[in-house]
Chain A
C-alpha cells in the first residue's frame, strides 16, 4: 500500500508539472496563476491537516501563521531590489514558527471548544496588530515590489518573476511539504500525535509528554502555513490584514474536511476541489457565496468523511450515526488509527 501510494503521488506531481506546457485553453496565464494558487492552498491545507486531521487539534486561527509569514517577507524585502530568497524564506517560516510557539503555549492550556475559540481569538489579535499599527500599512497592507532571488554561489537558480517558473517553484514547495509531512507521520512523533488524537489520556499514562507533542505539531503546522503564506504573498505582490482573517482559517478547515480528515492526499484534493469550486461559483453568479455556503452545509451534513471517505455519512440517520460510533469506540479506534499510515 505504501509503495502504491508513492507512485500515485509521483504521477500526480508529474501531471501537475506539465500544466504550464499544455496547449491553450489550459496552459494559459489564467490557469497557471490559478494552478499556483491551488498549490499554495494545498500547502496551507496540509499544514492544517497535521493539526486537525492527525493531532486532533481543531484550530480556527491557522491563518495567523499564514499572514505572519506573508508580512515577514513583505517587511524584509528591500524597497528597490530583490531580497535574498534563502534568508527570506527562512525568516518568514521562522517567525511563523515562533508565533505558533508563543500562541501554542497559551492555547494548549485549553481543550475542545475552548481551543477553537482561543485559537480564533489569537488569530484575531494578530489581525488587529496588522490592521491597527501603521508600521504594517494598516488596512491597505503593504506591497512587495520584487520577488526574492534564489541563488547559489552567485548563480541564479530560479526566476520567480517568470509565471511558469514560479508555478514549478510552488510545486516543488508542495512536494517538499508532502515529503516532510509523510516522513514525519511515519516517525515516532507522528505516531505519538495520532495516538494523542484518539486517546490523550492513555498516551499520557504510557509516559508521553502529550503537551510537548501537541505543541510540536502546532509549531510544525504553523511553519508550513508560513511557507504557504510566504508563497501567497509573493504570488500576489501584496499583503493585507485579510490574510489573517478567520475566513481564511475557515476555508482551510473546509478544504481538509472536503478532502477527508487524516489524509495527506485528502488535504491536497480538498484544496483543489475548493478552489476550482470557488472559481466556478464566482463565474456562475454574483451571489456565489450563497452557493459556497450551501455546499459547506451540505458537506457538513452529508459528507463528514470528505471525498476520500465517500458519502459514508449519507445512509445513516444523523443521530443514530453518532451513537453507533460512541458505543463501539474500540473498533473505530483500531481501524482509524491505521488509516493515516496507509495514506502516507
Chain B
C-alpha cells in the first residue's frame, strides 16, 4: 500500500467514523441521560435517508431539504418522546427493548407504505460535486470531505453545548439525579423531551447527509444500529467523547479490515469490542464526559 492509498483510506475511515459518531452520539445521550435503550435508533437513520430522497424530489435543493429535514426531525422526535418514550423511563430495560423493537417494525412498514421498497439514490448537490486530486493519480470526492467537516463541526458544537452551557449543565445534572434537578425548579420532562428530539435529529441528519454517498434502501438502519451499539459499548454509555473515540476506532478497523482481510472485516469490529470488554467492561470513558 503506497502513501496515497493509505491517505485516502484514512480519509475514508475518518468520514465513516464521524458519520457513525453522529448516530451513536444520539443513542448514547438518550441512554446516558434518560436510561432508555432505543433499538429504533437505526430506523431514524433510515428515515433520514428516505426523507432526503423524498425532499430532494420535491425541493430539488439539497441545502433546503437538509433544513426542512432538521425541522421535521426535531418535531418528530418531540412527538415520539411524548407518545411512546415517556412511558419507558421508569420501566425495565426489557420493556424498552420490546417497545422499540415494535417501533422498528412499524417504521419499516410505514416506510414501505409511504414511499416504497425500492433502492434509491440521492444526487450529490452540484456545488459539492467533483473531487480534489491527491498524489499523482488519485482523487477524493469533495462531498465526502464536506461530510467529514459537517460531522466534525457538530461534534465540536455538541461538546461545547454539553460542557460549557447552562443547558448542558442541566442535562448532565439530570442524568445524575433526576429528582434533585426537578426540585431545583427545572422542568426535567421538557428537558428530556428536547434531548430526545436532539438525539433523533442527529440520527436523521446523519441519514440525510449520508444518502448521496450510500444508496437509500430498506433495512439500512439495521447495520448502523448494531454498529452504534458497539460504539456505545466501547466508548462507555453516556459518554459523547467516548462515542467519538470509539466511532473513529471502528471507522479505521472496518475500513482497513476490508483492505487487508476482506472476509473477516465484518466480524473484526466485534473482536475489537470483545477485547475492549475484557480490558474495560464499562467502556473506555465514564458517563458525562
Contact in complex: B277, A300 (CB < 8 Å)? no
Q: Complex: how many Å from CA A132 to CA B271?
A: 15
A295 at the A/B interface (Cβ < 8 Å)? yes
Closest CB of chain A to B267's CB: distance in Å? Answer: 4
Which of B96-104, B123-131, B149-157 lies at the interface with chain A?
A: B96-104
Contact in complex: B104, A293 (CB < 8 Å)? yes
Given contacts A300-B95, A319-B90, contact A132 B37 (CB under 8 A): no
B191 at the A/B interface (Cβ < 8 Å)? no
Residue of A nearest to B108 (CB): A289
Q: Complex: how many Å from CA A293 to CA B264?
A: 34
Tally of chain A residues near chain B (CB < 8 A): 48
1/0 per residue A73-114: CB within 8 Å of B? Answer: 000000000000000000000000000000000110110111
Contact in complex: A254, B101 (CB < 8 Å)? yes
Residue of B nearest to A325 (CB): B90
Residues of chain A lying within 8 A (CB to CB) of residue B286: none
1/0 per residue A276-308: CB within 8 Å of B? Answer: 000000000001011011111101110010000
Central interface residue in B98, B233, B283, by most chain A CB within 10 Å: B98
Closest CB of chain A to B100's CB: distance in Å? Answer: 9
Counting chain B residues whose Cβ lies within 8 A of the other chain, the interface size class is 35 or more
Contact in complex: B95, A304 (CB < 8 Å)? yes
Which of A38-46, A118-126, A187-195, A232-240 lies at the interface with chain B?
A: A118-126
Given contacts A116-B97, A117-B233, A134-B263, contact A289 B109 (CB under 8 A): yes
Contact in complex: A287, B112 (CB < 8 Å)? yes
Which of B8-16, B51-59, B197-205, B224-232 lies at the interface with chain A?
A: B224-232
Residues of chain A lying within 8 A (CB to CB) of residue B93: 58, 112-113, 116
B134 at the A/B interface (Cβ < 8 Å)? no
1/0 per residue B65-87: CB within 8 Å of A? Answer: 00000000000000000001001
A residues bordering B, Cβ < 8 Å?
Answer: 52, 58, 60, 106-107, 109-110, 112-114, 116-118, 120-122, 124-125, 128-129, 131-134, 246, 250, 253-254, 257, 261, 287, 289-290, 292-297, 299-301, 304, 318-319, 322-323, 326
> Given A118-B233, A289-B109, list of 20 further CB < 8 A pairs?
A58-B93, A110-B233, A110-B282, A113-B35, A113-B93, A114-B281, A121-B229, A121-B270, A254-B98, A261-B94, A290-B109, A292-B102, A292-B105, A293-B104, A293-B106, A294-B106, A296-B99, A300-B102, A318-B91, A322-B90
